[in-house]
């Protein structure tokens, strides 16, 4: 049976203040990584799947078996709580983190470690957070699907997956058509998560649910005084500048 000792949880203070969860096996190789801010991946020049199977020291120039909190916990079997670290990425960026790390044991043998952490940006890099703070979902990029969620053995669907991989490498506008319930948004999110824009929020709008009288102002915004009660308000296209925008039911 795999468990944490109760006394370890007693040492763990305020779990809610941490954003990220990393789990490594007994060798320090990553088997799970839930990262709140995808811009950290951009600084590491990596995609989410790149972490799996890699050692925790791989992505930072100054991390070793001796100073990595995960590797230290694996070696000692004792938790490390509320530790501040300054890590240097392979491209020279500095990421500061605050973490608590615990061993995972099975029959008193250490089989892995779990680390909860929060990243902090130095003053000159605080702009990384500005864009995310304005979105309704701060964590991740507003998606739940990737191309791996399209499971099929049918030749036509396999052809669609190949096309998804091709268009994801471009900045072209993409038209996705199909009946209700056939997975158009799954395809759109798969394209987004394969593209170089995966770290930006995925913005989706169901045009069929918006009254015709409000569609123009929703998409293009309003200017104060243009009609009774109008205020200066950016439209969806302006808010989504440089980001993917998925418009559903355009012909509704």
Domain presence at residue 133: no
CATH number reported for the structural domain that contains residue 38 in this entry = 3.30.450.20
Domain termination residue (choose one: 107, 128, 149)? 128
Residues 206-249: pLDDT tens digits?
Answer: 776 677 777 777 777 777 777 666 677 777 777 666 666 777 76
Q: Which residue has the higher pLDDT, 140 or 27?
A: 27
Q: What is the pTM of this model?
A: 0.52
Tell me what pLDDT residue 140 has: 57
Domain presence at residue 7: yes
83 lies in the same domain as 156? no
Domain presence at residue 64: yes
Residues 125-170: pLDDT tens digits?
Answer: 444 444 444 433 334 577 777 888 888 999 999 999 999 999 988 8
Q: How many domains, the chain?
A: 2
**What percentage of residues in the chain have a pLDDT greater than 90?**
22
CATH number reported for the structural domain that contains residue 236 in this entry = 3.40.50.300
Domain presence at residue 181: yes
Tell me what pLDDT residue 137 has: 34
Range of the domain at 112: 2-128
The DSSP string of 7-58 is: HHHHH---GGG--EEEEEETTSBEEEEE-S-THHHHHHT--GGGSTTSBTTT
């Amino acid at each position: 049976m795999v468990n944490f000792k109760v006394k370890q949880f007693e040492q763990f203070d305020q779990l809610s203040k941490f954003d990220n969860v990393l789990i490594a096996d007994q060798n320090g190789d990553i088997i799970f990584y839930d990262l709140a801010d995808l811009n950290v991946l951009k600084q590491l020049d990596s995609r989410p799947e790149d972490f799996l199977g890699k050692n925790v020291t791989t992505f930072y120039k100054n991390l070793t078996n001796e100073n990595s909190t995960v590797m230290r916990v694996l070696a000692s079997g004792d938790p490390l709580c509320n530790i501040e670290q300054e890590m240097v990425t392979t491209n020279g960026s500095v990421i500061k983190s605050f973490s608590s790390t615990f061993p995972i044991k099975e029959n008193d043998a250490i089989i892995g470690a779990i680390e909860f952490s929060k990243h902090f940006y130095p003053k000159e890099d605080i702009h990384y957070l500005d864009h995310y703070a304005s979105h309704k979902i701060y964590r991740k990029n507003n998606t739940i699907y990737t191309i791996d969620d399209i499971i099929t053995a049918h030749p036509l669907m396999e052809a669609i997956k190949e096309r998804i991989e091709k268009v994801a490498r471009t900045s072209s506008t993409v038209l996705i058509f199909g009946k209700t319930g056939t997975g158009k948004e799954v395809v759109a999110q798969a394209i987004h998560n394969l593209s170089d824009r995966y770290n930006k929020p995925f913005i989706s709008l169901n045009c069929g649910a918006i009254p015709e009288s409000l569609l123009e102002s929703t998409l293009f915004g309003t200017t104060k005084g243009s009609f009774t009660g109008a205020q200066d308000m950016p439209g969806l296209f302006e808010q989504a500048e440089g980001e993917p925008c998925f418009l559903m039911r355009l012909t509704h």
